Amino acid sequence: MQKALVIGASGGMGYALVNELVSRNIQVKAFARNEKKLVALFRQHKNVEIISGDVFNEQDMMRASNGVNIIFHAISFPYQDWEKHHLRCLDMVINIAERRGAKIAFVDNIYAYGRQSINPVIEQARKEPQTKKGKIRLTMENKLKNSNAPSLIVHFPDLYGPNAENTILYETLKNVAQDKKANFVGNMQVKREFLYTVDGAKAMVELALRDETYNQNWNVPAVHTIAGEELVKILREITGYKKGIRTVSKGMIRLIGIFAPSMKEVVEIFYLTEEPVILSGEKFEREIGALPNTSYRVGLEETLAWMNKRA
């Protein structure tokens, strides 16, 4: 019987992955540092074992990984801690997977692709990231490919969804839900991708449960691209929100970054709001089947309902 470990289970994609695995009757170990949050998220799931621990502690990781077939690496860190933590964390996960004989399913973003002149971007596109974060992500990808653990790397665009608080769209949605004046990061007229975490988890779990998908990269795009002004229109229709939404420019991010280190780090990847990397899902649809495609309206309704329930 399949058993999975999700590290970073208290985050947006980790939460969605645990729920998707449970829906397929797979036993899941939900691992994160914050036990209180894990209990709040998963106490009603009988097939979820809650394990709090430190991803950098070998004993904690060996305890959590006992008996698992697949380790879902869904943990992330604040931007300012990427250089310090991400590679060290991945080294630990690879070490544990090799010792346990487990596979690794890695939640990745689009930073390693860097600037691309042709959209949509296929998995074989040349990766020459210009940013520090992109270079870290590419190094992580290469570490996985050079390890002895079977791994699959899934590239996601910007995310939104229940419990997805560490995302570029979260602050907009949170303030709309609270009927406060909201901000939107980037040009409101530029079409970008925002993937519903529930759809991302469905696609990733489908990939992770197939032996032939490992040692490959996979793109999982959103249902389609959408401009900020279109998103706002949907939000107004759903909620009746009438307040203005301010566009946050690169200059404003720089100014805020003087006081908030995490916002300072956003400047480096701000180009993605002006020159978006749009993912091609052709490989997934050719080899696996139709991509999950929750509409923006339904995804936003469900996300806002989740926020309101926990307000």
32 Cβ contact partners less than 8 Å away, ≥ 6 residues apart: 7, 8, 9, 10, 11, 14, 38, 52, 75
CATH of region 3-160+194-223+277-293: 3.40.50.720
Q: Are 144 and 86 in contact (CB under 8 A)?
A: no
pTM score, two decimals?
A: 0.96
pLDDT tens for each residue of 28-66? 999 999 999 999 999 988 899 999 999 999 999 999 999
Give the Cα separation of 181 and 101 in Å (integer). 50
Q: Are 15 and 1 in contact (CB under 8 A)?
A: no
Q: Are 127 and 112 in contact (CB under 8 A)?
A: yes
Give the Cα separation of 48 and 50 in Å (integer). 6
pLDDT tens for each residue of 282-299? 999 999 999 999 999 999
* For residues 127-145, average pLDDT: 97
Give the Cα separation of 53 and 62 in Å (integer). 11
